[in-house]
Each structure stands twice: as C-alpha cells, then as structure tokens.
Amino acid sequence: MKRILLSGGGTGGHIYPALAIARAVKKRYPDVEIAYIGTENGLESKIVPKEGNIRFYTVEIQGFKRSISWENVNTIRKFIRAVKKSKEYIQEFRPDAVVGTGGYVSGPAVYAAHQLGVPTLIHEQNVVLGLTTKFLSRFADVVAISLEESQKYLTHARRIVFTGNPRATEVVQANAAAGRKSLGISDLHRPIVLFFGGSRGAKAINEAVLQMIPRMKELPQVQFVYVTGEIHYEAIRSRIGQDECPNLEVLPFIYNMPDVLAATYLVVARAGASTLAELTSLGLPSILIPSPYVTNNHQEANARWLQEQGASKMLLESECTGENLWAEVKRLIENPELHHEMSEAARKLGRPQAAEVLVDELEKISLAGVQ
C-alpha cells in the first residue's frame, strides 16, 4: 500500500482507533503516505496533527438531529458539499483505500470514495451502530466490528469482519511496571482499584466515590486511585478535606493510562468503546457505569453486553450510590475466585491483534481495487 486516507471524528472513541490503524499500517509499510479528513474545529483537528506525518484535510459537516428539525435540511446541504470536497481530496491524494471510523465527519469521505470506486472499510466501535455506520454499511466494501454483538444490526452490509478495536493492540503492549512507578507504588502485590470517568470526569462516579472514601480504610491492603477529571479536581480536593485516607490517591488526569491499566486489579469507569477495548485486551474485571447522555444510549448496550459475558458488573447511573458501588468493589476484592473468572471472561473477548487484522483487510480490498 502506498497511500491510505482516514476519517473519523467528534470523540476520541472515533479518532484514536483511526490513529491506531495508521500506526499499524505505517509499521507494515514504513513508506506509506497517510491523510485524514476531519473538521476544522473538531477534536480531530487537535489530536491528528500531533501525530505527525499525516496530511490533514477539512470539510464542513454537522450531525443529523434525531428529532424532526428544519436544521436537518441544512445538514443535508452540508453533507452534499462535504462529499464534493472529499472527492477533490481523494482525487488529489489518490489513496489505495479509505477508512472511516465513525462520527458524522467520516460519512462524506467514505461515501465519496465509494462513488469514485475507491475501496472502503468502516470500523464500528460500539455494540449499537452509530447513524454514520448504518448509512455507510450499504456502500462500504468491508464493515469491521469491535464486538460480535454488532453483527445482528448489519443487515445490509456487503462483508462483515469481527476484528476488535485497534486500540487494544496498543494497550496490550503497555508496561505495568511503568504504571506502578508513575503512581509511586513499589509493592508489586498491592492491588490497585482505579476509578475514572473519562478526560472530563463523570459527576455520578465522582459523587459515589466521595461517599465511599471513609470506607476505603476498611481495605488497607488496597491502593485506590481516583481520577476526578481536570475540571472537577480542585472542587473535589476541597471536599475531601480531612476525610482523605492513606490508601487513596486523587489525580486530575492520567497521561499514561495504558501503563496504569496494565498495573490495575479492578476498574470502575464509563462504558465507552475505547474503555471496553482496553479492559478486554488486558483481561481486566470492571464495574461499568454507562453514561445515559450519549447518542442512542450505546454505553448501556456496551456495558450490558460485557456483563452478560461475565466480564463486568453494570451499575446504571440511577443505581450508582456510594453504598452500592462500595458493595461491588468490596465483593470483587474479597472474592479472588470471582475476580479470576471475570478476568478470564474479559480476556476471551479481547482482540489484541485487532490493528494487524484491520491492515490485512485493507491489503485485501486495496489489491482488489487495483485488479
């Protein structure tokens, strides 16, 4: 392969898988040229250029309103213009294949490639399909899925491949020793329980953890690590006050999350697609508290599926009190057999070779396109 064009945006859950694919392609084909179609003001415009050696193109596009709205007429106009612009980029860059990883920005890029006869692959990270995947699945040469459960929603796809999430390939290479060192934990046998709600934090998780802090002294052998999110950190530190316990560390953010996860015994988190990929690739038991504020409530579907496989315990946000959360944490800490069963169940779901499998698929469709 000589040139690959990627597109995905809106959230890190769409952007980081695209970059994981880019790195895997680059590893196999060191001289490959990579380009990316995103939006000027989206999160991808901040993350992708930092990767280096990726040509970044922009289109103007917005998502559809799920309710009836005149704004959707404007969305259609922008989509048509974005398709036209994407065709110009594709004809200039001449990629061997175009990859879409979700978010409405990937819609025009993949659809334009289809119209131009360029091989296409789309990747879905969640159990429940996003609107963009639903639309593009009729046109893409390959639909790659992270979770087997997604297959039942893909009734019009030409070809479906269960690859896993390429984020898993990078996380499985993480360094647990480096993770412990960054937290200042030298005891290799000290279990770490990690609470986090994403880069911005999650109010429901924060409130439940605050209620739990006085109980943490009951498990002095455990190191609790509580990541508040940067915007909540100062307020939470002031609320903890004298209640802080010696086996609790409170942090605003963790920059080496893969290494810390590799060192962790139990995770309490939201149920985003990237989190699921990380947990399953490392065989990490978890307590998942899905966000009810995401499109199509896809996090609950993610968490429920993981729970059904025996790899996690789901607590809905309405159930997430300090008492309930502490009961689940304590149950898993004090029951190593259950922890082991959940760990094995999670590991069976992991796809650590996901990025390499996706590169294999790209090779297939690009060669077919050449022929």
Pair of tokens at residue 237: 């530190």
Annotated binding-site residue? 10:
no
Neighbours of 27 (CB within 10 A): 13
What is the three-class DSSP state of 195?
A: strand
Annotated binding-site residue? 13:
yes
Least confidently predicted of 232-246, 278-292, 352-366? 232-246
Residues near 371 by Cβ (< 8 Å), separated by ≥ 6? Answer: none
Pair of tokens at residue 314: 């789901």
Query: Alpha-carbon torsion 113, 114, 120, 125, what sign?
Result: positive
Annotated binding-site residue? 199:
yes
Is 173-349 in CATH node 3.40.50.880?
no
Supply the pLDDT for residue 243: 57
Domain ranges in the chain?
Answer: 3-166+352-370, 173-349
Supply the pLDDT for residue 71: 73
Taking only the tens place, the pLDDT of each residue in 1-17 is 999 999 999 888 899 99
The whole-number average pLDDT for the span 270-296 is 92
Residue 182 confidence (pLDDT) above 50: yes
Taking only the tens place, the pLDDT of each residue in 114-159 is 999 999 999 999 999 988 999 999 999 999 999 989 999 999 999 9
Q: Do domains 3-166+352-370 and 173-349 have the same CATH topology?
A: yes
d(CA 195, CA 297): 21
Supply the pLDDT for residue 371: 40
Long-range (24+ apart) CB contacts under 8 A made by 85-91 are: 85/59, 86/37, 86/57, 86/59, 86/111, 86/112, 86/113, 87/112, 87/115, 87/116, 89/5, 89/35, 89/37, 89/57, 90/5, 90/116, 90/118, 91/116
The whole-number average pLDDT for the span 35-54 is 94
Supply the pLDDT for residue 295: 77
The CATH superfamily of 3-166+352-370 is Glycogen Phosphorylase B; (3.40.50.2000)
d(CA 205, CA 175): 27
d(CA 357, CA 293): 32
Q: What is the mean pLDDT of the chain?
A: 92
Q: Which amino acid is at 40?
A: E
Q: Which residues pair with 34 in a beta bridge?
A: 4, 54
Supply the pLDDT for residue 13: 87
Could you tell me if 78 and 101 are in contact, meaning their C-beta atoms sit under 8 angstroms apart?
Answer: no
Residue 242 confidence (pLDDT) above 60: no
Least confidently predicted of 70-79, 287-296, 323-332? 70-79
pTM: 0.86
